[in-house]
Amino acid sequence: MAAQQSYYVPEQSKWPIIASIGLFLTLLGLGKVLIANSAGADPSFGWWMFGIGFVIMVYMLFGWFGNVAQESMAGLYSAQMDRSFRWGMSWFIFSEIMFFAAFFGALFYARFLAVPWLAGEGDGASNVLLWPEFQSAWPLLTNPDPSLYPGPKEVISPWQIPLLNTMLLLASSVTITIAHHAIKVDNRPKVIKWLAATIALGAIFMGFQIYEYIHAYRDLDLTLASGIYGTTFFMLTGFHGAHVTLGAIILFVILMRYRRGHFSGKEHFGFEAAAWYWHFVDVVWVCLFVFVYIM
Amino acid sequence: MSAVVDSHAHDHGHHGPAKGFTRWLYTTNHKDIGSMYLWFSFIMFLVGGSMALVIRAELFEPGMQIVDPNFFNQMTTMHGLIMVFGAVMPAFVGLANWLIPIMVGAPDMALPRMNNWSFWILPFAFGLLLSTLFMEGGAPNFGWTFYAPLSTTYAPPSVTFFILAVHMMGISSIMGAINVIATILNMRAPGMTLMKMPLFVWTWLITAFLLIAVMPVLAGAVTMMLMDIHFGTAFFDAAGGGDPVLFQHIFWFFGHPEVYIMILPAFGVASQIIPTFSRKPLFGYPSMVYATASIAILSFIVWAHHMFTVGLPLAAQLFFMYATMLIAVPTGVKVFNWVATMFRGSLTFETPMLFAIAFVILFTIGGFSGLMLSIAPVDFQYHDTYFVVAHFHYVLVPGAIFSIFAAAYYWLPKWTGYMYDELLGKAHFWLSFIGLNLTFFPMHFVGLAGMPRRIPDYALQFADFNQIASMGAFLFGTTQLLFLFIVIKCIRGGKKASAQVWEGADGLEWTLPSPAPYHTFSEPPTVK
């Protein structure tokens, strides 16, 4: 049997406990802010805690990933270690898919079951007792109780900016694939060019998203609080936008590392993990475009 | 399975644990992390158990005696949350950490630093959750299932911290599960094929998959709650076109796989212990693997059996009823295999075996009451009664928790190097066995007679059975201090344990000396 390179088990590390403290302070601060806002109290203490926790998290991420990058550069990682990273990243993306699945499930449930039932479909007859005027529709512009949830005037058309955004993200999937092919043959200028293009496409996408959110809030009265359409629209597109932002930051870090000479044609799992993540974000957008915007 | 190990067991170039408390804060060692998980879960077990005793003290007599109803509701809620997320799940993760690397011949978990982070999130998460007891408005009081709108519109302010604590537990579980999967798929010693893995490893592989699939859904559910509470969204509010029933669907899409997350590793433990003390290989190993996988797959399509009374369409009730009944088939295969393993074996009844046999018998009782509950038309009668409480405590206490005790006794000699006190172990078993049956068996009767769950007061005719249950609960609860004593005694010394420890034990972990060295299998063994 072929001798295996022994598996790298890191020495003691301070990062996990720092990460736990950072995560705790971030979330505790966030909770304090939210509770203070609900009670009409001053949230500044919570903001401070949130800020400190956030700074600790950023410090931790630099330090921890820095260690991993150094170890990788020092050649401590074997092919087996590489497979551990691959399994880890794959299952992480699977967990993200399930997170989005919960929100897509909520969208389908609201659209195909809850809203029709509220309008009297099925044998529940709840509409007679609660809101006899309510009509089922999607996009839902008039909510069952408009005094509590004033509906949007109008929703965003898929065939303008959303279509453009779809093109942008699909194009970014192509650009990152070009960069991936280039990294395999160590064509460094080409990798840098196409990776930068991918990040730029992501940034333009986010710019359009922000523009559209402003338009929705200011002109269309389409908000988080405008009933179930606004709820599902903003939660799904919002979490997607957060993931695009994160994905672009990851790609940016990879770009910076690449410029410093990290990664080779043979070993570039950091790049590949970022690319997987980017493709995942892309696929989520295609689902959003179909199920949130078009249908 | 026969394992032949190369003579690489001795360590070279490796050192022991670091000195001082930073050993525990900074550790990357799967054994240290496993021990911390196990201790943490035991502390949470005592905390959650104390809350159960508050509940049982109040229910000793009809009428209001000790606590006010709101505090009673806080106790039922916190008891459930702490036992599920703080006691049972971390205990199994602790066992996974300790055992999977030494069962598959790996030097450690695949991602050791992330492993430590998975653990260290938990004390903060539960600190946050427990701190809500001292908040204005009190701790969460809406039951461990936190149904909207009780947990949104009508919730105390502490619900926000509850949501964030659940997020932390979810992050911890997902990272832990990723580590388990990566370790099992990537770190097995040469020759350790999938179908040669010990069954505990198999059940954990499938459990980890369930965790990664459903913990994000739970995160989604609590995120929707947070948005409804603080940002005006309408997920669970019909006035905005949402639906409170949507919450139940999402919660139970997480919740039903979750109950298998708490029992599949228990199946694995029983499948390790019963063959050892029967001195026979496990009967039907492949069918055990397929049964576990079948249970896991079915767990995704049965969730609405928790919701029969919510007003589901008839077709949905029928579907979920039959799908649920199907689960009895693979579960029956497992029970049959355990019994067949014991059949004509040379049985001895050391403490782990006692717990394992009680597991098989009492878990089956819980399974049968589950089958009763799965029948939609009769569930209308049982729903939200003490019959449900009896059912899930029978699968969780003599199911999950007995298997954890069994595992602790079975592997303690490997962990500490000493044998535990067999006489005290048996006393712990019998007192627990009697205590839990006194506690939970009468709940079947009061439940069938119509006593609702989560109620601090009850009608006079339920008094006798409730008094028996309360006495049983205090017997069971105090007995667990004996377990603490036994473990500490075993750590401090006793009869030296041999490498194999148990005459019939088979597997890589029994080829290591007892106690297992700090670093093991730095060079992978060869399994033939």
Question: Is the CB of A35 less than 8 angstroms away from the CB of B168?
Answer: no
HSE of B469, CA atoms in CB hemisphere, 13 A: 27
Alpha-carbon torsion angle B377, B380, B381, B386, nearest 10? 130
CA atoms within 13 A on the CB side of A36: 13
Residues from chain B contacting residue A103 (CB–CB below 8 Å): 220, 224
Rg (CA), chain A: 23
Answer yes or no: do A14 and B26 touch at CB < 8 A: yes
Structure tokens of A257? 């590392």
Contact A20 B220 (CB under 8 A): no
Tell me the torsion sign for CA atoms A181, A170, A248, A98: negative
CB A218 within 8 A of CB B227: no
For the entire predicted model, the pTM comes to 0.95
Q: Which amino acid is at A165?
A: N
Contact in structure between B357 and B398 (CB atoms under 8 Å): no
- Which pLDDT score, from 0 to 100, does residue A1 have? 33
Within a domain: B129: yes
Task: Judge whether B483 lies within some domain.
Answer: yes
Confidence bin at A129 (pLDDT 50/70/90): confident
A228 in contact with chain B, both atoms CB, cutoff 8 A: yes
Q: What Rg, from alpha-carbon coordinates, does chain B have?
A: 23
Higher pLDDT, A9 or A283: A283
Q: Provide the pLDDT for residue B18.
A: 86
B452 DSSP assignment: B
Res B390: pLDDT:
98
The two three-digit tokens of residue A106, written as one number:
């909520």
CB-nearest to B107 from A9, A228, A230 is A9
**B16: how many CB neighbours lie within 10 A of its CB?**
11
How far is the alpha carbon of B3 from chain A, nearest alpha carbon, in Å?
A: 16
| Cβ contacts of B179 on chain A, cutoff 8 Å | 88
Say if B516 falls within a structural domain.
no
Buried b (16+ CB within 10 A) or exposed e, B355-384: bbbbbbebbbbbbebbeebbbbeebeebbe
Here the tokens at position B106 are 């790996």
Torsion of CA A12, A18, A24, A26, to 10 degrees: -150
Across the interface, do A84 and B243 touch by the CB < 8 Å criterion?
no
Q: What is the DSSP letter of B340?
A: H
DSSP annotation of B83 reads I
How far apart are the C-alpha atoms of A74 and B325, rounded to whole Å? 56
Terminal alpha carbon distance of chain B: 9
Residue type, B145: T
Query: How many structural domains are present in chain B?
Result: 1
Residue B317 maps to a domain:
yes
B246 touches chain A (CB under 8 A): yes
Separation of first and last alpha carbons in chain A = 57
Q: The CATH number of the domain where B506 resides is what? A: 1.20.210.10
Do the Cβ atoms of A95 and B243 come within 8 Å? no
Of the candidate ranges A23-37, A114-128, A205-219, B408-422, the one whose mean pLDDT is the lowest: A114-128
pLDDT at A121: 85
From B259, B248, B366, B260, select the one nearest B307 (Cα to Cα): B248
Pick from A14, A98, A232, A243 the residue to mutate for testing the B interface (most B CBs within 10 Å): A98
User: What part of B 257-286 touches A (C-beta under 8 Å)?
Assistant: none
Residues 71..110 of B with a Cβ closer than 8 Å to A: which?
106-108, 110
User: Do the chains contact at A37 and B230, CB–CB below 8 Å?
Assistant: yes
Tell whether B58 is covered by a domain: yes
Predicted confidence band of residue A126 (pLDDT cuts 50, 70, 90): low
DSSP-assigned letter for residue B385? B
Interface of A with B in 246-275 (CB under 8 A): none
Q: How confident is the model at residue A193 (pLDDT cuts 50, 70, 90)?
A: very high
This complex has an ipTM of 0.96
The parent domain of residue B88 ranges over 32-511
Q: What is the DSSP string of A11-69?
A: ---SHHHHHHHHHHHHHHHHHHHHHHHHHT---HHHHHHHHHHHHHHHHHHHHHHHHHH
Non-local CB neighbours of B19 within 8 Å, separated by 6+ positions: none
* CB atoms B124 and A96 under 8 Å: no
| Location of structure tokens 């949501």 | B163
Q: Enter the tokens of residue B484.
A: 């603490």
Rounded CA-CA distance A10/B28 in Å is 7
Residue B219 lies in a domain: yes
- Beta strands (DSSP E) in A50-147 are none
Collect all residues of chain A within an 8 Å Cβ-Cβ radius of residue B188.
Answer: none
Per-residue pLDDT in tens (0 to 9) along chain B, 528 residues: 334 444 444 444 456 888 888 999 999 999 999 999 999 999 999 999 999 999 999 999 999 999 999 999 999 999 999 999 999 999 999 999 999 999 999 999 999 999 999 999 999 999 999 999 999 999 999 999 999 999 999 999 999 999 999 999 999 999 999 999 999 999 999 999 999 999 999 999 999 999 999 999 999 999 999 999 999 999 999 999 999 999 999 999 999 999 999 999 999 999 999 999 999 999 999 999 999 999 999 999 999 999 999 989 999 999 999 999 999 999 999 999 999 999 999 999 999 999 999 999 999 999 999 999 999 999 999 999 999 999 999 999 999 999 999 999 999 999 999 999 999 999 999 999 999 999 999 999 999 999 999 999 999 999 999 999 999 999 999 999 999 999 999 999 999 999 999 999 999 999 999 999 999 998 899 887
| One-letter amino acid for residue B453 of the chain | R
Which token pair is B60? Answer: 């000793």
Q: How many Å separate Cα A164 from the centre of its chain?
A: 19
User: Is B186 part of the contact surface with chain A (CB cutoff 8 Å)?
Assistant: yes
**Tokens, residue B376:** 């939609």
- Between CA B457 and CA B73 the distance in angstroms is 12
Q: CB-based contact (8 Å) between B409 and chain A?
A: no
Nearest Cα residue in chain B from A106: B246
Question: What is the rounded distance in angstroms from the CA atom of residue A43 to the CA atom of residue A35?
Answer: 8
Nearest to B25 by CA among A56, A13, A25: A13
> Using CA atoms, how far apart are residues B314 and A138, in angstroms rounded to an integer?
26
Residue B199 CA from chain centroid, whole number: 17
The reply to whether A34 touches chain B by the CB within 8 Å rule is yes
Q: Is residue A69 within 8 angstroms of chain B, CB to CB?
A: no
| CA–CA dist B199, A153 (Å, integer) | 59
Q: Is the pLDDT of residue A35 over 90?
A: yes
Closest-CA residue to B212 (of A99, A267, A48, A38): A99
From A21's Cα to the closest Cα of chain B, the distance in A is 8
Exposed, middle or buried: residue A75 (CB in 10 Å: 0-12, 13-18, 19+)? exposed
The span from the CA of B3 to the CA of A2, in Å, is 19
Smallest Cα distance from B44 to chain A, Å: 19
Could you tell me if residue B17 is inside a domain? no
Is cis: bond before B257, omega within 30 of 0? no
Q: How far is B309 from chain A (nearest CA, A)?
A: 13
The three-state secondary structure class of B418 is strand
Q: Average pLDDT, stretch A36-64?
A: 97
Q: What residues pair up with B418 in beta bridges, in sequence order? A: B496
B10, part of any domain: no
What pLDDT score was predicted for residue B241?
95
Q: Is the peptide bond before A139 cis (omega within 30 degrees of 0)?
A: yes
* Phi, psi of A220, deg, nearest 5: -105, -5
